[in-house]
Amino acid sequence: MVEERQPIISVRNLQEPGTPLRKFYGVLESFPHEQSGYGKTRVNLNFTQVQVLESTEPYPFPIATVAINLSNRKNSSWGVFGESLIKCLPEGADIDFCIGKKMGLEMEVGHKFGTDQDGNEMLGNCWKVFEVAGVVAGAKQITAKDKAVELLDGKTVQEHTTLALADPQIRSDTDLQKAIVSKDFYNSLQQAGMFSKDAQGIYHRLATAT
Sketch the domain layout of the chain as residue ranges.
Answer: 21-132, 144-209
| Gap between the Cα atoms of 129 and 164, Å rounded | 28
Q: Which among 26, 24, 28, 27 is positioned nearest to 52, based on CA atoms?
A: 24
pLDDT at 87 exceeding the cut of 70: yes
The burial class, CB within 10 Å (0-12 / 13-18 / 19+), for 93 is buried
- Phi/psi at 189 (5° precision): -70, -35
Whether the model clears a pTM of 0.75, i.e. scores above it, the answer is no
Question: Is pLDDT larger for residue 37 or for residue 144?
Answer: 144
What is the reported pLDDT for 134?
85
Distance from the Cα of residue 22 to its chain's centroid: 18
Taking only the tens place, the pLDDT of each residue in 119-159 is: 888 888 999 999 999 887 777 777 889 999 999 999 999 99
| The listed CATH number (1.10.10, 2.30.30, 2.60.40, 3.40.720) that belongs to domain 144-209 | 1.10.10
53, 24 Cβ separation under 8 angstroms:
yes
Helix (H, G, I), strand (E, B) or coil at 61: coil
pLDDT band at residue 15, thresholds of 50, 70 and 90?
Answer: low
pLDDT of residue 8: 65
